[in-house]
Structure 1
């Protein structure tokens, strides 16, 4: 009888659960093998001139990070470090690499106790080059890229583990400076992340004061948030942003500038995350969003 049922199932093209699981495991292994080959090729000393599969590989890894074996994660982090330190990737691909690394480290990768200092340094250095963040492509691609960059900042800084206060202050200062040179939607998103940082780390609100803090002198030219003495900075950028031509940017800057120096902080205006704010107020299509 069992033999008859098996023959009928095979004739009907059906598979039992064990066979399905085995096939799915093989498919998953083959998929990850393709992703890893793409990443390792890009991280090699002489990478290919064009990397058309890089973005799809990073997107796929980001979706299935919960299925990656812990045994591979340490090697994967090392590949990410090489990719970020090299010049093979575009700014958007580096942002997606950082986002993928954060997704891994906030899941099963927590067991690795990986030092995120190098990732923070790469992200901090990228913020100092706004021209690298505005690549080609159509308006929709630019809109998606802006939201991706803000999502990476939010995820790595405001939505991850506790970060050193001095490092947070340095990022808040550079985010405000980045907002000055960014498209309006991305500027709103950057200010949204800066507000989240100042709200989560009260000590960093000293950046809203004009008084000099006795911790040294802030060095804006250093690309290391750990050593640039961020707590000695002043967010004078907000005074310029409050006069921004876009009302949403001006309102966001005023909201950050008006934060209390001590105590609890009121909930931000609206319920949108910074990445969504960047998308909602984007001017990449040449018009105000929302219309005014």
Structure 2
């Protein structure tokens, strides 16, 4: 704490200390579960069954990660997650930026009406069954395109990017038009270079959504070869819970081989998979953090 803290009145000091305690508590609620996942992921599965492992492994091992990558289905799931995240993020951010820029154009006929109908879709949903029927009629179900095409546009992202684009000085666009640039030239050579914060923010939102989405693969995809890692993780969690319940209810009806496998690769295998799923997001976030705050604040407020 700086010297101004000690010069401040007692009421302000207490408020500052209280705020720091709240922030510390929130940080611990986030960090401690991650440390527990880390400890169980790198700990021997048989040893983990004894309990007492919280934030540091007791018996270090890479067996759990070896087991995860030994499953061809899980390895393929990570590849599918990577493909859908990269392709879905790039295409969604690019098309969303084009739509947002079009809505900022004063020469667009019916701009206000179009913006209203786009915003109106945020208020109501057609429901799960109509949504499934639409995907089926478009032949998107059970294909990798079901991960990308329905999420190309997000109304909230369009509104945020539109607000950000409106802050670009009009003089830049007018000067560019006098130099002979058309709308596409202005978009690619002026708008996008000046919009790196909001583009980085929207890219992070889209990437995290694609990488963590397990719902689409569970309900709209039957082919196990195109299921993402998050969906396979959810299925693993469900299977593990069912096996654990079966073991508790009727341990005598299970073979020793199955019991031994649960002890070796049960919770630890699950934690290893969770760590592999969340690790890319944790590694990428520090590189876009400086753009994240600026993009959210600048894109959400309009002077």
TM-score by length of 1: 0.23
Structure index of larger Rg? 2
TM-score by length of 2: 0.23
- Relative contact order, higher structure (CA 8 A, sep 6+): 2
Which is richer in helix? 2
